[in-house]
Structure formats: structure tokens, C-alpha cells
Amino acid sequence: MNNKSAPNLSNKLTKEQLISQLNLEHHFEGGYFRQTFKAEHRDQINTARGDRTIMTAIYYMLTDDNNIDHFHTKYSDGIEFYHMGAPITYHMIYPNGHYEKAVLGPDIFNGQQLQLALPGGTYKAAELTSGSYGLVSEAVAPGWEIEDMIDVSRDELLNQFPQHKVVIERLANKKLPFLDPS
């Protein structure tokens, strides 16, 4: 048995190499992504918005030149999983107005988390504050469909949660990006 440990690739891979190797594309919320799984081999489940697959999963990467995933929410629950690169800071505003911040990254001894579960209806933004890239995955159940996305403008969030003005003004889109491409 070989006792040599594998090299730490997260210190050697560039963001361009990861984008190419993982076939990532620009995402309308910010960053890069690729859907890696959709449970099409299972029966769909009925939701208030129609039939949905049981689960989907994506790779998601923020980079130093595309470092913000703007505030949005969805009906489905999701779990984020840290993979490599710099830590990613998540900002969550729950439906009751409670704000929470969490950092997904490798330094679990200093409060970073390897995974983060978010119930549907939680407004979420993420940002890369250092490093060249941070790579995570997200599993969503019921599976993500564009119809389940709830995009929100900066003004809508400020009206609903004025107590979080500073973080909303910094991390929310002025317009609805995928509904209003202008």
C-alpha cells in the first residue's frame, strides 16, 4: 500500500482550469455552475408548483472577478457543500427577518463549516472575499427548476427587511436579473 498522500490540488489548480475541467458556465445569479445530477430516474413528486424531480445537484464556484451570488430564494430546501479553494461567506435572511452569516470553508477549527443547510424561503447571498476561487456544491430537494426560483430586487428586500439595509444594498441586485435582462 502506498502511504504517500495525494497532493493538495486546491493550492495548484487555477480558476480557469476548474471552469474548463468541470465544464462550468456563467450563472445568472453570479459565479459559475453546472448541474451534475437530476433524479430523472425516479418518479416525480407533486408540489404546489407542479411535478418536480426529487433532487438536483450543482457545482457552484465564485471567483475573484465574479465574486457575488446575489440575494435570491427558492421554494425547495438546499444543502451547500464546501469542496476547495477560498472560503465563501453566506448571508441569510429568514422569512421571519432573522439575519445569519456563515462561512463555508476548510478551517473548521475557526468556525468555518463544510456544509450549510438552508430551508426553502430563506433569502441567500454569497460572496468570495479572498482568494482566486471557492468551489461548492448544492443539493436541492425537491429538485430545482427555474419556476421555483424567487428572484427579488434590492427595493423589494429593503421594503421587507429594512433592518438589514447594509448587507442588502451590498449584495442584492437592483433589478431582477433573470426576469429582467435589461
On whether residue 59 sits in a domain, the answer given is yes
Question: Which CATH number fits the domain that encloses residue 88?
Answer: 2.60.120.10
Q: Which pLDDT band, with edges at 50, 70 and 90, does 146 fall under? A: confident
Helix/strand/coil for 134: strand
On whether residue 8 sits in a domain, the answer given is no
Residue pLDDT, tens place only, 2-11: 445 445 555 6
On whether residue 136 sits in a domain, the answer given is yes
On whether residue 180 sits in a domain, the answer given is no
How is residue 157 annotated by DSSP?
H
On whether residue 35 sits in a domain, the answer given is yes
What pLDDT sits at residue 151? 78
Question: 58: domain range?
Answer: 14-148
Considering 7-16, 114-123, 138-147, the range whose residues carry the highest mean pLDDT is 114-123
On whether residue 119 sits in a domain, the answer given is yes
On whether residue 161 sits in a domain, the answer given is no
Mean pLDDT for 114-120 is: 97
Distance CA 94, CA 73 (A): 10
Q: Is the pTM of this model over 0.75?
A: yes
- Please give the residue that has the higher pLDDT: either 11 or 115: 115
On whether residue 154 sits in a domain, the answer given is no
Residue type, 1: M
| Helix (H) or strand (E) run with residue 16 in it | helix 15-21
What pLDDT sits at residue 71? 93
